Amino acid sequence: MTKKIEDILSYFDELLPDAKCELVYHQDFELLIAVILSAQTTDKKVNAVTPILFDKYPTISGLSNANLHDVEDIIKSIGLYHNKAKNIIEVAKVIHEKYHDQVPSSFEELCLLPGVGRKTANVVRAELFKIPAIAVDTHVERCAKRLCLAFQNDSPYEVEMKLEKIIPENRQILFHHQMIHFGRYHCLARNPNCAECALKKYCTLHKVKVEN
């Protein structure tokens, strides 16, 4: 592990020691649904609709038989709700019929579910099954590039591969949450709190070289 990575991990442990998933869920399938709903919107908005959704559909089988328009009406305050409503009903059907109400842990099986991509699959595997993974959302991607852990033109997949290579496996799940919180509350897209950041010397805003 390089001095740079040690410094980043140490600072995150000091700044964000208790970082964790901010999506509210009580059952495994609820997390999967919440992560699907969180695409291109905030966890706060998702947390505002999921209690209503899961109160009406407390089981995966119940959601699998839900009326599309009823689900749309519940989640209409979040972005892309037409497609998301359709996807979560289809996901519920697959999990109920193929996986006997159990969310699969396999990356490949998760990615075959409607509306599930690498980010969602990695979040579910890390959160539910404690499988080391780094899900790359807008916050993780932005912070990784600013900290020169990836190049500016890297795709989310390339960022994911680079982070998983340089961050020890036993730190990846916590690091993922810390990066999200760092980007969400400190290293904002606009007006980042650089004055109080201990990582300025590694930041692209301060013209340093990319970590190789």
The domain defined by 28-129 folds into Endonuclease III; domain 1 (1.10.340)
Quickly state the pLDDT bin for 173 (edges 50, 70, 90): very high
Written out in words, the top-level CATH class of the domain with range 3-19+136-206 is: mainly alpha
- Which residue is catalytic, options 84, 119, 145, 162? 119
Supply φ then ψ for residue 19, to 5 degrees.
-60, 135
Q: Is 79 in contact with 41 (CB distance < 8 Å)?
A: yes
pLDDT above 50 (res 210): no
- The burial class, CB within 10 Å (0-12 / 13-18 / 19+), for 207 is exposed
What count of Cα atoms within 13 Å lies in the side-chain half-sphere of residue 153?
A: 0
Tokens of 34: 């919440």
Residue 88 or residue 208, greater confidence: 88
What residues have CB less than 8 Å from 88, skipping those under 6 apart?
Answer: 33, 36, 37, 63, 71, 115
Give me Rg for the CA atoms of the chain: 18
**115 conformational bin, left if phi > 0, alpha if psi -120 to 50, beta if neither:** left
pLDDT of 135 reads: 96
pLDDT of 1 reads: 83
In the predicted model, what is the mean pLDDT of residues 24-36?
98
pLDDT of 207 reads: 60
Neighbours of 83 (CB within 10 A): 13
pLDDT of 205 reads: 82
Quickly state the pLDDT bin for 9 (edges 50, 70, 90): very high
Neighbours of 96 (CB within 10 A): 19
pLDDT above 70 (res 209): no
Q: What is the pLDDT of residues 153-172, one digit of tens each?
A: 999 999 999 999 999 999 99
The reply to whether 3-19+136-206 and 28-129 are identical in fold is no
Kindly state the DSSP code that residue 206 receives in the 8-state scheme. G
Q: Is 137 a catalytic residue?
A: yes
Q: What is the pLDDT of residues 89-146, one digit of tens each?
A: 999 999 999 999 999 999 999 999 999 999 999 999 999 999 999 999 999 999 999 9
Q: What residue type is 79 in one-letter code?
A: G
Tokens of 98: 């193929």
Looking at every residue in the chain, the average pLDDT score rounds to: 95
- Does pTM top 0.75 for this prediction? yes
- Which residue is catalytic, options 28, 84, 137, 162? 137
Q: Is 209 a catalytic residue?
A: no
Would you kindly state where each structural domain of the chain is located, as residue ranges?
Answer: 3-19+136-206, 28-129
